[in-house]
Chains A and B, each alone.
Chain A
């Protein structure tokens, strides 16, 4: 009798926890906006893709990471002078926050083609399945996640004059 009672209480308690976590997921922390739903207006995206601000330190990591943004492959960045090789394909990103607003930087990252035109070599980092012969392991995937885009945007905002 005693033990059955305890079990009943435990069950009740965990159901309650479940209810709370479902409510939480649907409410406070919204899922990031899906790549196909992102709208670029006037070459900008004003709202965060995740609803939250990014993390500068994480943004640095994605900026350098060869398996992440690999931005350094194409852009020079004096803030990362300790890194061995900087690309020369795109413009230097020194002072980039002085040239573009946050919304413009986000749009450039999400879909460079929508900002620079279809001929640009710069990849679009938050678009999925738009090209030909995409390798199987990258099907349905964006190069960076919405969180990672926000992290990189937060980092780029620190590159002022």
Chain B
């Protein structure tokens, strides 16, 4: 493995290879953790958990990619966070309100929200994730139009709000009315799909830490989302990532914002229960 990496560095040129060389360097020097984060590894809290240790996706990335997340000034995703901060107090819609009209200082009012999504919404009779909650506030309270999924505004606001909860351990409700959604998400996670006939578990439970061609498989944890990806050249939502994984195995993906992806988001959040929120993370 070591040899192969060295060969690659000379073949591709140092700058490009730097983004791709895997992060688990045996005996390598310790890297600083992402800003605002004290641990990237926690123990499962329940006996039924399928993993022995829960590892943030950061753990599996190259030192160079990790380094970009060490410092908010270097992290390219902060362009979106800053935009979100501006939108937070921008008045829009017939009710003449902004987010801050109701929620005031986000650093206080949003200090945990990003760690507890998806959350049960009594009015809608279903769980909502962060994107859906933001749009619910826009249409119901601001009387403004909902933002489109993956629009700059929705990504910016999601990144801004989730960043307020940075360092907060992921903790989602999975019992009561959330139970059927949790079970549905679990079912999707373990169902093989597509022409390549794989499930999420095939890659992220069975082989994390292993190289799959140029990528090192992580546990598919969600605590870093939305994340900046070099491949996307921008920030992207968790549902976009889910869609990408399904397309790679030649399956028809569910739609972003669908009930299926919402259930999967709940289930995958539970698999990462206890990991500190790292949003917005940086990925290859």
A residues within 8 Å of B by Cβ?
66, 70, 72-74, 81, 84-89, 121, 123-124, 130-136, 138, 141, 143
Contacts and interface: CB of A to CB of B under 8 A. Distances in A.
A141 B195 contact: yes
B11 interface: yes
A118 to B, nearest CB: 9
A67 to B, nearest CB: 11
B12 A135 contact: no
Contacts of A132: 191-194, 251
Given A84-B11, A84-B12, A134 B195 contact: yes
Interface centre among B12, B193, B197 (most CB of A within 10 A): B197
Nearest to A123: B196
B258 to A, nearest CB: 13
B250 A121 contact: no
Interface residues on B, range: 20 to 34
B47 interface: no
Contacts of A135: 194-195, 247, 250-252
Given A73-B213, A84-B7, A131-B195, 8 more contacts: A86-B213, A87-B213, A132-B193, A132-B251, A134-B252, A135-B194, A135-B195, A135-B252
Contacts of A89: 207, 210-212
B213 A72 contact: yes
Nearest to B11: A84
Given A84-B12, A121-B203, A131-B195, A136 B252 contact: yes
Nearest to B8: A84
B231 interface: no
A96 to B, nearest CB: 19
